[in-house]
Amino acid sequence: METEIITPEAELEKKEILNRYRGLLRSCRYKLDDSDKKLIRKAFNISLEAHKNARRKSGEPYIYHPLAVARIVAEEIGLGAIAIACALLHDTVEDTDITLKDIEGMFGKKVASIIDGLTKISGVFDASSSLQAENFRKMLLTLAEDVRVILIKLADRLHNMRTLDSMERTKQLKIASETLYLYAPLAHRLGLNTIKSEMEDLSLKYTEPALFAEIAQKLKDTQAERTRYIHKFITPIREALHEQKFKFRIFGRPKSVYSIWNKMKNKGVPFEEVFDIFAIRILIDSPSEQEKSDCWRVYSLVTDYYYPNPDRLRDWISTPKANGYEALHTTVMGPNGQWVEVQIRSERMNEVAEKGYAAHWKYKQGGHGEEDPLEEWLKKIRTSLENPDSNALDFINDFKLNLFADEIFVFTPKGEMRSLPVNSTSLDFAFDIHSQVGAKCIGAKVNHKLVPLSHKLNSGDQVEILTSSKQAPKADWINYVVTAKAKAAIKALLKEERNKQAAEGREILKRKMSHLKIDFNDENINKITAFLKLQDSQELFYRAALERVTNKELKEYLEAKDDKTNNQAQNQGPTLEELVSKARGKQDTLMIGDNMQNLEYKLSPCCNPIPGDDVFGFITVHEGIKIHRVNCPNAIALLSNHAYRIVKAKWTSQKLISFLAGIKITGIDKIGLVNKITQIISKELNVNMRYISFDTNDGTFEGNMMVFVHDTAHLTDLMKKLQKVDGVVKVTRIDTNN
């Protein structure tokens, strides 16, 4: 075969590609036979040829990416030859001339269906839809057939996150937010703990770079002190385990930057006050029949030396998590009055916790006999995927709701245990048993007491469902349930009922239109639907059945029929192009879009952005461009689901305008304190207040205020001055829009 490579750089690249390919083969955790090697080689050759002229944003040959994804699939997830081949080919159909039919011809139906699941949907969706959600739904639908699609997609996303440096800031924000919103929870649910933690850390690194760097630096600075403490803590336990002849490993490991940040955020404390910065892990090498009793023996040894917190014992050995995770977690009082989390698990449990689904199946082939929790979860997901015609965004939100939820364990009257997400109701339980039981549910008995459909269940409850053949699902049932299965079933049942009513409504409307001499045709139906500002003709027929479309409204439509331009202006929101190009004449503080223009915008009330905040613009359908802070509670969902409607936004210096910001102050109640605080705000810094309230309770106080500031520097200066007031313990910014 004659070579086209001539330059020394190209020669070096060719060598590097071959090195990476050999590295991939070496990293396979399962022994490959000749047919496996042949399959991987064939996939590599085709991918290499297909991507030969392509480069990544970093300037590297594109083939580096599929090779890296295949290596994550082989080494970090532990999948076999078919998945490795699919990882090598995963971008070919989307980015090159190769078609799905070509893949099927060369590799067969199984590989083609996995590649199809990994290929993004092309096409245009309406403004209220979300391309990201549509793509994510398409990928999830293949989960019913082959979980490898999701695992390869997670590997692909992880490598994209690892190489996000070469992307521009807006792209980084979109990809990192989507990862945090959808992919990290999915990795968690499939038991890929290591991948989930890395995804979360990398997402934080790009969404909040300064915060990430600060926590990472503090972890580094406290490392030596932490190492000494861990050594002191584990020395007596290590000796006791040796005495008891355990084969074990014991070590301390710091929590991820993301989980530390989460604790700081949720508890409102600085880094120094997060007590469980690290966890002690004890891994024992025990035969499977002794694992459970050995873990409890180790727990007993640990609590001989350190006093346990009775509220912090978690037994995931007797009832594993839905993602297959098994371990004993306890929190004990260590030296120097410090609470320390201790995790106890076997080497098998550890591999399942770190490597997830693939390791899980490796051990399952040995067989434990009982129903597998991960398979149970997949079964539930498959059930909720049976109704894929719902709105893609609703589908993703319902699915996500069930991804990260903690679980409760409840029992049927016969003692069968079922796991449900926290906050599940008796109606969720009814649908979990069967959709027909849910549809006919009128109430339940929880621990032999009668409760309504909306009753929230707790772990250990025994639930008996009461049904009636006369019962039919109601629209407000959606508010009583949290599980994706129940939501999907209720929506399907309501839709069925609505379709029946719409069919009756169609006939009613036909008679009314005939009476007013309006032709009953598609054109008029669409025009009436638009005139009444309804979603579609189905909604029109449904309203007609409920007698909500009156003769008066039809007459008004007739009068306005000729005025088409007025009608369109009334019913159509501005297009994206119109919104983005609508320039603002007056002086402003915010530049928007790639060309940094002055455009019309509104500041979003959910996060009250002020100049100096890291912000982005979101193009709404009816309200123009709304500005959100990057760390706004809604930002991750917006960036993830509607990335194509995000525009850049950047503050320019502007001292003439004041913006509203919220501050919360807590501390020890002292005489004259409120006076000092208000003096600093109004006199020293000339800040206007719009709202102030103070509450005192047994010698402590909490104050909330809304003040007008120019930018973040102004706000930070104010907060620093307030922090110095004698008696003030903490000053934080709040997002409350009073």
215-364 and 17-207 share a CATH fold: no
| pLDDT at residue number 484 | 79
pLDDT tens track for 522-535: 888 888 888 887 77
- Does 415 have pLDDT greater than 80? yes
- pLDDT, mean of residues 578-601: 51
| pLDDT at residue number 460 | 83
The CATH code of the domain at 659-734 is 3.30.70.260
Please give the distance of CA 469 from its chain centroid, rounded to a whole number. Answer: 39
For residues 139 and 121, give the distance between their C-alpha atoms in angstroms, rounded to a whole number: 10
Please tell me the least confidently modeled range out of 293-302, 424-433, 631-640, 717-726.
Answer: 631-640
DSSP assignment of 558-601, as one string?
HHHTT-HHHHHHHH-PPPHHHHHH-B--S--SEEETTTTB-B-E
Q: What percent of the chain has pLDDT over 90?
A: 21
Q: Is 95 a known active-site residue?
A: yes
Where does the pLDDT of residue 578 fall: very low under 50, low under 70, confident under 90, or very high at 90 and above?
very low
| pLDDT at residue number 658 | 67
**How far is CA 487 from each of CA 402, 410, 527, 661, rounded to the nearest angstrom?**
11, 20, 33, 38
Q: Is 613 a known active-site residue?
A: no
| pLDDT at residue number 576 | 40
**17-207 domain in CATH 1.10.3210.10?**
yes
Whether the CB-CB separation of 558 and 513 falls below 8 Å is answered with: no
The angle at the Cα of 182, spanning 575 to 213, to the nearest 5 degrees, equals 100
Where does the pLDDT of residue 65 fall: very low under 50, low under 70, confident under 90, or very high at 90 and above?
very high
- Does 701 have pLDDT greater than 50? yes
Please tell me the least confidently modeled range out of 215-224, 367-376, 728-737.
Answer: 367-376
Where does the pLDDT of residue 198 fall: very low under 50, low under 70, confident under 90, or very high at 90 and above?
very high
- pLDDT, mean of residues 379-399: 62
| pLDDT at residue number 359 | 65
What's the residue count for the chain? Answer: 738
- pLDDT, mean of residues 10-35: 84
- Active-site entry in 95, 272, 304, 386: 95
Please tell me the least confidently modeled range out of 151-165, 351-365, 707-721.
Answer: 351-365
Fold (topology level) of 405-481: Ubiquitin-like (UB roll) (3.10.20)
| pLDDT at residue number 537 | 79
Residues 6+ apart with CB under 8 A from 603: 609, 626, 627, 659
- Does 425 have pLDDT greater than 90? yes
- Does 430 have pLDDT greater than 90? yes
| pLDDT at residue number 586 | 36
Where does the pLDDT of residue 377 fall: very low under 50, low under 70, confident under 90, or very high at 90 and above?
low
- Does 262 have pLDDT greater than 80? yes
Where does the pLDDT of residue 593 fall: very low under 50, low under 70, confident under 90, or very high at 90 and above?
low
Round to the nearest angstrom and report the end-to-end CA distance of the chain. 73
Long-range pairs of 256-259 with CB within 8 A, sequence gap ≥ 24: 256/197, 256/198, 256/200, 256/201, 257/201, 257/204, 257/205, 257/212, 257/215, 257/216, 257/219, 258/197, 258/200, 258/201, 258/203, 258/204, 259/197, 259/200
DSSP assignment of 318-329, as one string?
TS--TT----EE
SS3 call for 470: coil
- Does 594 have pLDDT greater than 50? yes
| pLDDT at residue number 569 | 47
| pLDDT at residue number 99 | 86
- pLDDT, mean of residues 436-452: 90
| pLDDT at residue number 325 | 84
Chain-wide mean pLDDT for the chain? 80
Helix/strand number for the chain, H first, E second: 31, 20
- Which pair of tokens denotes residue 59? 């300037």
The CATH code of the domain at 215-364 is 3.30.460.10
For residues 36 and 420, give the distance between their C-alpha atoms in angstroms, rounded to a whole number: 40
pLDDT tens track for 330-343: 999 988 888 899 99
Q: Where are the domains of the chain?
A: 17-207, 215-364, 405-481, 492-571, 576-651, 659-734
Where does the pLDDT of residue 547 fall: very low under 50, low under 70, confident under 90, or very high at 90 and above?
confident
Where does the pLDDT of residue 128 fall: very low under 50, low under 70, confident under 90, or very high at 90 and above?
very low
What is the reported pTM? Answer: 0.70
Residue 195 carries which DSSP code?
H
- pLDDT, mean of residues 650-670: 73
- Active-site entry in 11, 49, 94, 145: 94
Whether the CB-CB separation of 459 and 408 falls below 8 Å is answered with: yes
pLDDT tens track for 579-590: 444 433 333 456
- Does 693 have pLDDT greater than 50? yes
Residue 277 carries which DSSP code?
S
pLDDT tens track for 715-730: 888 888 888 888 888 8
